[in-house]
């Protein structure tokens, strides 16, 4: 099979003509054409290899042979819908249940994180009979109509919105690392929003948040925050929805789900999962309690998702779970993520433009600032790091409201050598780009 | 690979415990466990073969080797997201464009018909800056929050709704086969709804309808209806959305898209496609005009769909198009669908319980009534036909607001012999089930 059907220039011209321009390309000034991939590496049409630091979807590595094998085997046998009984869907639900708190025992399989989040909203509304949803500042939960409503990241540009609480960011938020108890303080801001909702004569259906807010800037929720928020939300008759679409399936290393970082005493009422679940295959899921599922059934409306939970999707999902275990990818995530965090933290001591380094497992952010005291976002500098790393054949991207956080969420097979390479190259870029003779701190960094 | 991991009883018990009960099983009293399939045949755990008359998703046949091959080949190479340039997405868009009117030249790839319909709503709203959506009575457009709002079929049980126009059903609707111009008469009902919307001081964003309403009972829109409706809707500043999720990709035989049955002078402004598109793989699409896509881009909000348009999905989509052509499945649909329609129409002359037989290609409905004059829906009889056909290892199901229409939308490789078998069995069932000594018409049919 030829790897290219059209020359790159032609592909780009066709893309501009045929695909909605709202669907943006990476490196839009000079997009990359990728024709094959393996593990954590992408290859362009000239055979140039890129180190992939951002494809969290291809969780166990691009084109993992075990995943291809599982898909092929099941595609040859059967891919009917879930209205017929089949073992894969129940086996897969059973395996997922084993990773979750006991109370999260009922599953709905869908095709995307957006579909999962939309269904989570429906479940919460049906169960609580309340309407209002509280989300975090700068949140993004998907591309569907219902989710734009709850995604400040996008909806600030559009009409309509829900309530949102301040992002619990201890580097840049309203309570910082010097606060004696940021978890309590941030949780209290959610309580304030609940009070505001009640003052309007309305009621809270759900608190809806990523377990590690990613678009908001690779944020780690202070430990204890979720437990406290869940307490407030449940007191108001609402439920706690943990969006694990970006963060689940062992990315954080120490735990299978990022919400588990909050401690054993915490369990959400609904968990949504997606991106890494099928290693690229469209596969997502909502897990909830028997009580919430029961309320949804009681409305008498069937929920049928044409492709959701089909035997091929579930076979792929099962294979992903197997590979995570067999290759100890959670262990790898802890080790390599820890090493990457160490290396970037060392760079922070050398390069004042690095304001903060944070992360857990292979979910890491490097926040760039032009001024360490003011923490002024170094948006242009971050964009330049992305561009310069591309010249070194390393793919990273930025996140955060000011796009000043360089993010790392690579396939989970990312290696120590990969971590060293990217840290070395960032050190090099920050060193050579420093204006000659300049001090290491101060406004000269604005020259970026 | 073992075809079964659990015994059927255990699968069923796990299913009840682990999967939301809103996700219903076929034959809920005695569900079928299917472990493999090929072409138009399903095989249960005991090797019993069922003729599949309902899986319109497995369009070119269950487990078609060309589709599996295309998926496997691409899975081994690359399955990155559409932010990288790739030939498959542009080639696939180009191939789809060739099947559509020239003006439908911009594509958005998504993962399900529901995602496609949700995006169509967003496109229509953004382009028209209007809010109201007109749908047909008994319509169903998907399971997402936004789509329940526009699906009378489900939303009648829930809160909230949009405007709907009478279903243009010339057998049971307000204008019937004896009306001199049902197309015009039904189109005028849409005009009435538009007027009603305007009287409320509101504006119409879209008329949204399946090209052949299926849940509403396998309805054929009177020819000329859509052209006239489009004229009214565009005059009101709205757009015409054709939902081809169930009906596209040659199912109607004579044309690639069911909206083309309305004539060459008709083109929708937005077309959504889904179910058959990936032969079971989660793959869907929205096609629209450059103007509408341009308005969507102009809002400045990125549309990113994680899995949409990935190289594997597009490789599968391309393979489906190839098989439709190579195996002349449209020709087969016309021939076999025509034969099935003939056979069922013959049965209609023998069995007064058959009130109407209608269809085009392999989209066929057999409407059962207890009384030919009153056209009283024979809901129980239709359910009994479904159950009895199951005993003969033939899978059909019912549709329509009274679930009295036995529907046929089999894989497109359905054969003359399959059509004969199902017609023969229906004849047999209707013959042996007739109460002894009863006349062929009249209220005794109520004894079903």
At A187-232, the pLDDT tens digits run: 999 999 999 999 989 999 999 999 999 999 999 999 999 999 999 9
Nearest one of A171, A160, A317, A330 to A261, comparing CA atoms: A330
Segment A96-119 mean pLDDT: 98
Nearest-Å Rg of the Cα atoms of chain B is 22
* Residue B129 touches partner A, C-beta closer than 8 Å: no
* Last-in-domain residue among B291, B326, B361: B326
- Looking at the structure, tell me whether residues A106 and A82 fall in a common domain: yes
Q: What is the DSSP letter of B427?
A: H
- Looking at the structure, tell me whether residues A201 and A294 fall in a common domain: yes
CB-side neighbour CA atoms (13 Å) of A3: 16
Nearest one of A288, A337, A275, A294 to A111, comparing CA atoms: A275
Q: Are B403 and B430 in contact (CB under 8 A)?
A: no
Contact list in B for residue A73 (CB cut-off 8 A) is: 1
Contact list in B for residue A282 (CB cut-off 8 A) is: 111, 281-283, 307, 313
The reply to whether A2 falls in a domain is no
Q: CA of A77: which chain B residue's CA is closest?
A: B36
- Looking at the structure, tell me whether residues B166 and B288 fall in a common domain: yes
> Which of helix, strand or coil describes residue B171?
coil
The reply to whether B19 falls in a domain is yes
Identify the domain containing residue B237 by its residue range: 65-326
- Looking at the structure, tell me whether residues A161 and A44 fall in a common domain: no
pLDDT interval class at A448 (50, 70, 90): very low
Cα of A225 to nearest chain B Cα, Å? 29
CB pair distance less than 8 Å for B19 and A108: yes
Task: Name A165's bridge partners.
Answer: A136
H/E run at residue B37: strand B34-38
The reply to whether B264 falls in a domain is yes
pLDDT of residue A438: 43
* Last-in-domain residue among B311, B326, B341: B326
Counting the structural domains of chain A, the total is 2
CB pair distance less than 8 Å for B86 and A23: no
C-alpha–C-alpha distance, residues A436 and A353, integer Å: 15
> Which of helix, strand or coil describes residue B357?
strand
pLDDT tens column, A262-278: 999 999 999 999 999 99
- Looking at the structure, tell me whether residues B237 and B339 fall in a common domain: no
* Last-in-domain residue among B306, B326, B346: B326
Q: Are A137 and A161 in contact (CB under 8 A)?
A: no
pLDDT of residue A161: 46
Is pLDDT of A110 > 80?
Answer: yes
The residue ranges of chain B whose pLDDT is under 50 are 157-161, 435-448
CB pair distance less than 8 Å for A72 and B67: no
Look up the CATH number of the domain holding residue B19. 3.90.1150.10
- Looking at the structure, tell me whether residues B36 and B145 fall in a common domain: no
Q: CA of B245: which chain A residue's CA is closest?
A: A306
Q: CA of B274: which chain A residue's CA is closest?
A: A306
The reply to whether B131 falls in a domain is yes
Chain B contacts in chain A segment 69-88 (CB below 8 A): 71-73, 75-87
**Total CB pairs under 8 A between chain A and B:** 342
The reply to whether A284 falls in a domain is yes
Is pLDDT of A439 > 70?
Answer: no
Cβ neighbours around B7 below 10 Å, total: 12
Exposure class string for B80-96: b at 16+ Cβ within 10 A, else e: bbbbbbbbbbbbbbeeb
- Looking at the structure, tell me whether residues B53 and B103 fall in a common domain: no
- Looking at the structure, tell me whether residues B310 and B414 fall in a common domain: no
Contact list in A for residue B160 (CB cut-off 8 A) is: none
* Residue A173 touches partner B, C-beta closer than 8 Å: no
Is pLDDT of A443 > 80?
Answer: no
The reply to whether B3 falls in a domain is no
- Looking at the structure, tell me whether residues A266 and A121 fall in a common domain: yes
Contact list in B for residue A112 (CB cut-off 8 A) is: 110-112, 115, 305-307
pLDDT tens column, A280-336: 999 999 999 999 999 999 988 889 999 999 999 999 999 999 999 999 999 999 999
Look up the CATH number of the domain holding residue B181. 3.40.640.10
> Which of helix, strand or coil describes residue B196?
helix
Q: Are B405 and B218 in contact (CB under 8 A)?
A: yes
The reply to whether A245 falls in a domain is yes
Share of chain A above pLDDT 70, in %: 94
The reply to whether B417 falls in a domain is yes
Chain A contacts in chain B segment 277-296 (CB below 8 A): 279-283, 288, 293-294, 296
Share of chain A above pLDDT 90, in %: 88
Nearest by CB to A144, from B3, B118, B296: name it: B118
C-alpha–C-alpha distance, residues B20 and A78, integer Å: 22
Q: What angle do CA A236, A240, A243 make, to 5 degrees?
A: 155
Computed from CA positions of residues A220, A225, A231, A235, in that sequence, does the dihedral angle turn out positive or negative?
negative
Q: Are B405 and B216 in contact (CB under 8 A)?
A: no
Chain B contacts in chain A segment 176-215 (CB below 8 A): none
Give me the interface pTM, i.e. the ipTM.
0.95
- Looking at the structure, tell me whether residues A366 and A316 fall in a common domain: no
Provide the pairing of β-strand A354-360 with A284-288.
Answer: unpaired
pLDDT of residue B156: 54
pLDDT tens column, A30-52: 999 999 999 999 999 999 999 99
CB pair distance less than 8 Å for B112 and A114: no
H/E run at residue B133: strand B132-136
pLDDT tens column, A362-414: 999 999 999 999 999 999 999 999 999 999 999 999 999 999 999 999 999 99
CB pair distance less than 8 Å for A68 and B90: no
Tokens 């999967």 belong to residue: B19
Cα of B285 to nearest chain A Cα, Å? 11
Nearest one of B68, B93, B66, B89 to B79, comparing CA atoms: B89
Nearest-Å Rg of the Cα atoms of chain A is 22
CB pair distance less than 8 Å for B301 and A158: yes
CB pair distance less than 8 Å for A83 and B24: yes
- Looking at the structure, tell me whether residues B316 and B346 fall in a common domain: no
Interface with chain A: mutation pick from B42, B143, B294, B296, highest number of A CBs within 10 Å: B143
pLDDT interval class at A62 (50, 70, 90): very high
- Looking at the structure, tell me whether residues A54 and A91 fall in a common domain: no
């Amino acid at each position: 099979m030829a790897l290219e059907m059209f020359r790159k220039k032609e592909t780009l011209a066709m893309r501009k003509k045929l695909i909605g321009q709202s669907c943006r390309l990476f490196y839009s000034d000079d997009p990359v054409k990728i024709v094959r991939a393996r593990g954590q590496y992408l290859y362009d049409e000239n055979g140039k290899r890129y180190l992939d630091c951002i494809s969290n979807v291809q969780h166990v590595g691009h084109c993992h042979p075990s995943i291809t094998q599982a898909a092929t085997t099941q595609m040859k046998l059967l891919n009917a819908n879930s209205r017929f009984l089949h073992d894969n869907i129940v086996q897969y639900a059973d395996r997922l249940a084993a990773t979750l708190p006991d109370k999260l025992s009922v599953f709905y399989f869908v095709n995307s994180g957006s579909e999962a989040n939309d269904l989570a909203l429906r479940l919460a509304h049906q169960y609580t009979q309340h309407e209002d949803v509280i989300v975090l500042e700068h949140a993004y939960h998907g591309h569907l109509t219902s989710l734009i409503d709850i995604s400040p990241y996008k909806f600030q540009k559009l009409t309509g919105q829900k309530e949102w609480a301040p992002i619990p960011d201890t580097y840049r938020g309203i309570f910082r690392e010097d606060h004696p108890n940021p978890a309590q303080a941030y949780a209290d801001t959610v309580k304030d929003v609940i009070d505001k909702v009640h003052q309007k004569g309305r009621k809270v259906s759900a608190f809806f948040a990523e377990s590690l807010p990613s678009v908001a800037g690779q944020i780690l929720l202070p430990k204890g925050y979720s437990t406290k928020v869940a307490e407030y939300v449940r007191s108001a008759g609402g439920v706690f929805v943990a969006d694990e679409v970006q963060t689940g399936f062992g990315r954080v290393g120490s735990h299978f789900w990022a919400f588990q970082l909050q401690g054993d005493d915490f369990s959400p009422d609904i968990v949504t999962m997606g991106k890494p679940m099928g290693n690229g295959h469209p596969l997502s899921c909502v897990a909830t309690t028997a009580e919430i599922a029961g309320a949804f059934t009681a409305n008498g409306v069937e929920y049928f998702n044409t492709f959701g939970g089909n035997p091929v999707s579930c076979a792929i999902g099962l294979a992903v779970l197997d590979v995570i275990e067999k290759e100890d990818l959670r262990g790898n995530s802890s080790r390599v993520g820890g090493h990457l965090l160490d290396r970037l933290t060392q760079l922070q001591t050398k390069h004042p433009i690095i304001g903060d380094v944070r992360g857990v497992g292979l979910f890491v952010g490097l926040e760039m600032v032009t001024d360490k005291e003011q923490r002024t976002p170094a948006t242009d500098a971050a964009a330049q790091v992305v561009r310069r790393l591309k010249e070194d054949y390393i793919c990273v991207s930025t996140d955060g409201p000011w796009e000043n956080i360089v993010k790392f969420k690579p396939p989970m097979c990312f290696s120590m050598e990969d971590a060293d390479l990217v840290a070395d190259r960032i050190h090099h870029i920050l060193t050579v780009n420093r204006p000659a003779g300049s001090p290491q701190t101060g406004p000269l960094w604005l020259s970026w």
